[in-house]
Amino acid sequence: MSDSKSNIRKFWMRPKVIFAVFVLIVAYGGGIFSAVLAPYDYAEQDLSSVRQGPSMKHLLGTDFVGRDNLSRIIYSLRTNLIVTFAAVVTGSGFLGIFLGLISGYFGGWIDFLVMRIGDIFLAFPGLLLVILIAATIRPRLINLAREIEDATFLEGLVRWGVIDYVIVFGSLAAFGWVGVARMVRGQVLQLSQFEYVVAGKAIGASTPRILLRHIFPNALPPIIVILTMGMGSITGAEVILSWLGIGIQPPTPSLGSMIREAQNISILQNYPHMLIPPVLVVALLIFAWNLLGDAINDLLNPRSR
Amino acid sequence: MFAYTIKRILWFPVVLAIISFVTFTMGFYGPGDPAMVRLGSKATPEAVERMREKMGLNEPFMYQYMTYASSALKGNFGESHSFSGRSVSELIVKKIGISLQLGLGAMFISLSIGIPLGIFAAIKQGTAMDTFLVGFSLFFYATPVFISAPVLILLFGVKFHLLPTSGWDGIVSLSAIMPIVILGFPGIAVMTRLTRASFLEVINQDFVRTAYAKGLSEYQVNFRHVLKNALIPLITIIGLSLATLVEGAFIAETIFGIPGIGRFAVESILSRDYPVIMAVTIITAFAFSLTNLIVDLLYCYVDPRIRLIK
């Protein structure tokens, strides 16, 4: 036990862990406290200072309608944070683990059904299907939300972009579960063979108890690794969607739409300060998640180091 | 082995049927009336109704799907909305060729650079060189195409004027260099990491110790005994990296203005050209499933140990 404790202490001392955790805390801390930290509102336009370079007034300059780039990045991090965590918790986390557990434990037709549905999800080009979902379901959901708003006292579902968040994280979650479910299923198949699980069954422990108390904790290490790695790819996917213009809709800022606005050749030539900061933030964020996943993998599966 | 092969091959058309059904359903319930789109917003209701009748839009859903599926099997995916009256297949065929060249070029780059780097890192395991290569590849893996593309354009196109920033003049031209390299980047990282991991796994096995024991040189052991076994797991990755390549191609083709199928798909999505989106989805899904089928069967064939498990 003391050995694993010292391993964990060593883990936190590793340069790549320190770096990754630092980047994630700064980025998501900025996202969580965006309303306090951002010097300007994300939609505040200053048409007298458009496309300015970095200055004391605007640390990262302004965009084409004079909005402060730094503030927009900070608010974009909030957008990204909400989408990423919602998608990972519901999709990869809840759906993936739940379906993996039942499909591995019960086997038979449940297993067949879950795994074949997973196969079909994997056969689709993920990005295209997400785009298709976003394009076809969005108008219907917005109509539905309007009806809900009219019928109840809820307000702002459409105006505040709640629907956009639901669509984006929903379609990302719809793809996130497959990899996790497959992995959890493999773990369950292995762990079910162990004596303590058999013993648990013999003394009459209920199925949920066996799954949650006996199998799940032992399957946890690889789940943590795959979820951490997944954070990086979901972060990227959220940015790609808004880059394509089908993610979170303006005026809510998103790193993807900022990059898209800045990558036009003539803008690149004259205003490179618009491209570099958002690009750097996205690259660092994805890199940090992968670095952390890698380090956790080293910690939990020392053989693969 | 035989039973497994048959099972996989029988499963293939089922997947295709489900994929086409899901895609068709989404297109069917998508916003906009295809007849209205075809005629323009100024069309009279009677004209729209006549068009609906002519296009078969008044038939029941299942009937429409069967018609769509059976003509899709013959390679006919209907007519594009935006390019009025032109058949989707005709629009797509040429673009697939361009995207294929781009993808194969990128695949070649990631294999020819990634595998040697991975072997090198594995042989130097634990040294500073190894740490550097692993960190380096992780960084490239973490850099999506829409990040690396504008940055490289800024560097090589805008600042130094070395390479053209857009267009396509075939695979052997200056304009192909940036997109191919950018698409290949994440692949290099994946190949490096996997080659390294699988090389290290093999190095610790008994037969390698035996090879050393009988007095073979390190070179002989590494390249004649280890490498052969270490490359087997990489076959699976070729299937998986196809997915990454296709997604990367969407973005790279859009940024570099390459008239391939990825850019066409993105444009069609923005202009809500459903027949094209559906065709691209089905064709890509078909290519994915086929590659995965071939890869899985190949894997069983190359590595006899897998046959026993299945």
Q: Judge: A294–B138 Cβ closer than 8 Å, yes or no.
A: yes
Mean local confidence (pLDDT), A261-282: 78
- Beta partners for residue B87, in sequence order: B79
- Residues in B touching A126 (Cβ below 8 Å): 243, 247
Per-residue pLDDT for B6 more than 50? yes
Interfacial B residues in 219-278 facing A (CB < 8 Å): 243, 246-247, 250-251, 255, 265-266, 269-270, 272, 277
Confidence of residue B1 (pLDDT cuts 50, 70, 90): low
- Residues in B touching A123 (Cβ below 8 Å): 15, 19, 285, 288-289, 292
Chain A touched by B26 (CB under 8 Å): yes
CB A104 within 8 A of CB A186: yes
- Residues in B touching A268 (Cβ below 8 Å): 150, 153-154, 158
- CA dihedral defined by A209, A210, A214, A215, rounded to 10 degrees? -120
- Residues in B touching A131 (Cβ below 8 Å): 269, 277
Give the per-residue pLDDT at B307.
55
- Residues in A touching B285 (Cβ below 8 Å): 123-125
- Calpha distance B260→B166 (Å, rounded): 13
Q: Judge: B144–A286 Cβ closer than 8 Å, yes or no.
A: yes
Q: What is the pLDDT of residues B72-105, one digit of tens each?
A: 888 777 777 777 667 888 888 888 888 888 888 8
- Calpha distance B110→B245 (Å, rounded): 11
Host domain of residue A213: 13-34+69-304
Helix axes B234-256, A216-243, angle to 10 degrees: 20
Q: Judge: A283–B142 Cβ closer than 8 Å, yes or no.
A: yes
A53 assigned to some structural domain: no
Provide the 10 A C-beta neighbour count for residue B73.
Answer: 10
Count of structural domains within chain A? 1
CB B193 within 8 A of CB B118: yes
Per-residue pLDDT for A117 more than 60? yes
Torsion sign across C-alpha atoms A245, A250, A254, A258: positive
The ipTM estimated for the assembled molecules is: 0.75
Give the per-residue pLDDT at B31.
67
Per-residue pLDDT for B54 more than 50? yes
Interfacial B residues in 95-154 facing A (CB < 8 Å): 135, 138-139, 141-144, 146-147, 149-151, 153-154
- Calpha distance A249→A136 (Å, rounded): 15
CB B245 within 8 A of CB A126: no
Confidence of residue B57 (pLDDT cuts 50, 70, 90): confident
Give the per-residue pLDDT at B275.
82
Higher local confidence (pLDDT), A140 or A29: A29
A4 assigned to some structural domain: no
Distance from CA of B29 to the nearest CA of A (A): 7
Cβ pairs A/B, distance under 8 A: 121
Q: Judge: B288–A265 Cβ closer than 8 Å, yes or no.
A: no
Per-residue pLDDT for A305 more than 50? no
Q: Record the tokens describing residue B139, joined without a space.
A: 């960084």
Confidence of residue A56 (pLDDT cuts 50, 70, 90): low
Distance from CA of B42 to the nearest CA of A (A): 22
Per-residue pLDDT for B296 more than 50? yes
Half-sphere exposure for B57 (CA within 13 Å, toward CB) = 19
- Give the contacts of B95 (CB within 8 A, at least 6 positions apart): B259, B260, B261, B264
- Give the contacts of A131 (CB within 8 A, at least 6 positions apart): A241, A244, A246, B269, B277
Residue of chain A whose alpha carbon sits nearest to that of B17 = A120
Confidence of residue A135 (pLDDT cuts 50, 70, 90): confident
Give the per-residue pLDDT at A66.
66
Higher local confidence (pLDDT), A43 or B290: B290
- Calpha distance B69→B60 (Å, rounded): 14
Q: Record the tokens describing residue B162, joined without a space.
A: 């070395």
- Give the contacts of B98 (CB within 8 A, at least 6 positions apart): B168, B258, B259, B260, B261
- Residues in A touching B19 (Cβ below 8 Å): 120, 123-124
Give the per-residue pLDDT at A1.
45
Higher local confidence (pLDDT), B34 or A22: A22
Provide the 10 A C-beta neighbour count for residue A87.
Answer: 26
Mean local confidence (pLDDT), B244-249: 80
Helix axes A97-106, A162-191, angle to 10 degrees: 30
Q: What is the DSSP string of B168-229?
A: ---SSSHHHHHHHHHHHHHHHHHHHHHHHHHHHHHHTSHHHHHHHHTT--HHHIIIIIIHHH
Hunting for tokens 């943590």 — which residue is that? A224
Per-residue pLDDT for B177 more than 80? yes
A50 assigned to some structural domain: no
Measured between alpha carbons, how far is residue B234 from residues A187, B114, B256, B298 in Å? 23, 11, 30, 12
Q: Judge: B281–A124 Cβ closer than 8 Å, yes or no.
A: yes
Measured between alpha carbons, how far is residue A187 from residues A97, A176, A181 in Å? 11, 18, 10
- Residues in B touching A27 (Cβ below 8 Å): none
Q: Judge: B151–A294 Cβ closer than 8 Å, yes or no.
A: no
Higher local confidence (pLDDT), A102 or A2: A102
Mean local confidence (pLDDT), B5-22: 85
A79 assigned to some structural domain: yes
* SS3 category, B87: strand
CB A290 within 8 A of CB A232: yes
Give the per-residue pLDDT at B310.
42
Mean local confidence (pLDDT), A201-205: 83
* SS3 category, A68: strand
Q: What is the CATH number of the domain that holds A213?
A: 1.10.3720.10
What is the distance, to the nearest Å, from the Cα of residue A109 to the centroid of all Cα atoms in its chain? 31
- CA dihedral defined by B269, B13, A105, A85, rounded to 10 degrees? -10
A165 assigned to some structural domain: yes
Lowest mean pLDDT: which of A31-40, A110-119, A231-240?
A: A31-40
Confidence of residue A50 (pLDDT cuts 50, 70, 90): low
- Calpha distance A231→A229 (Å, rounded): 5
Hunting for tokens 């046959």 — which residue is that? B307
Average pLDDT, chain B: 80
Distance from CA of B194 to the nearest CA of A (A): 11
Residue of chain B whose alpha carbon sits nearest to that of A282 = B147
Confidence of residue B308 (pLDDT cuts 50, 70, 90): low
Q: Judge: A265–B277 Cβ closer than 8 Å, yes or no.
A: no
CB nearest A279 (choices: B23, B30, B147): B147
Give the per-residue pLDDT at B305.
63
A276 assigned to some structural domain: yes
Mean local confidence (pLDDT), A100-116: 87
pTM (2 decimals)? Answer: 0.81
Lowest mean pLDDT: which of B146-160, B184-198, B202-216?
A: B146-160
A269 assigned to some structural domain: yes
Chain A touched by B17 (CB under 8 Å): no
| Residues composing chain A | 305
A6 assigned to some structural domain: no
Give the per-residue pLDDT at A193.
80
Residue of chain A whose alpha carbon sits nearest to that of B32 = A136
Q: What is the pLDDT of residues A89-102, one digit of tens each?
A: 888 888 899 999 88
∠ CA B239-B147-B165, rounded to 5°: 95
